Amino acid sequence: MIYYYIEKNGKIQLCDTDITKIKNTLAFMPDLAEEIILQTEDEILYRNDEFVFVKDIQDELLEEAKQECIKQINEQKEFAFKAGFYFNEIHFDCDDRAQIRLSAQLAIAQPETTIIWLDYDYQPVNFSYEEFVQMCAVATQVVSNIEFETATLLEQVQNAKTIEELNLVSIDFAKCLSL
């Protein structure tokens, strides 16, 4: 794509991909009428109230894209925690509060007792001690999978050297929820 632009005092004053629009605009800007219309294949972006060459702000754009990607990863991580997990075809929570409750209940649970636990929809489920330990193990595995996937994704983001590399980061926590 060709970008047409007018530069004055080292700053791009006008820019468009249509030279006719530049020429028509110049008719209303006498202070730029004597300037030469330049052209380039380098992408020009209007940013922070000025035109800039994208190549001149690559690092800044990459850092902003990384921050947005990190935000998406964290949002998807929280969504994965909220989605919960299934044990014996019953849906359970695994968000932060559920993890704390599971740990506390596991610490005080006694063998040979029935443990009543609430499923995702707050319906009581009766567990033997062994079943409860197994359910806690599944919950721990799901949480670990989510945390490890988060760490892997964040590392990929930090290692990306270009926006194209960053766009290859695939945020998918669904695989963490199925065991």
Q: Is residue 151 part of a domain?
A: yes
How high does pLDDT run on average in the chain?
Answer: 93
Q: Is residue 54 part of a domain?
A: no
pLDDT digits (tens, 9 = 90+) for 129-154: 999 999 999 999 999 999 999 999 99
Are the beta carbons of 66 and 158 closer than 8 angstroms?
A: yes
Residue range 175-179: average pLDDT?
Answer: 74
Q: Is residue 52 part of a domain?
A: no
Domain that holds residue 162: 59-177
Task: Give pLDDT, residue 119.
Answer: 94
Whether this model's pTM surpasses 0.85: no
Locate the DSSP E strands across 9-145.
11-16, 37-40, 44-47, 50-53, 85-87, 90-92, 114-118, 124-128
Say yes or no to pLDDT of 115 above 90: yes
Residue range 29-35: average pLDDT?
Answer: 89
Q: Is residue 51 part of a domain?
A: no
pLDDT band (50, 70, 90) for residue 179? low
CB atoms within 10 A of CB 150: 20
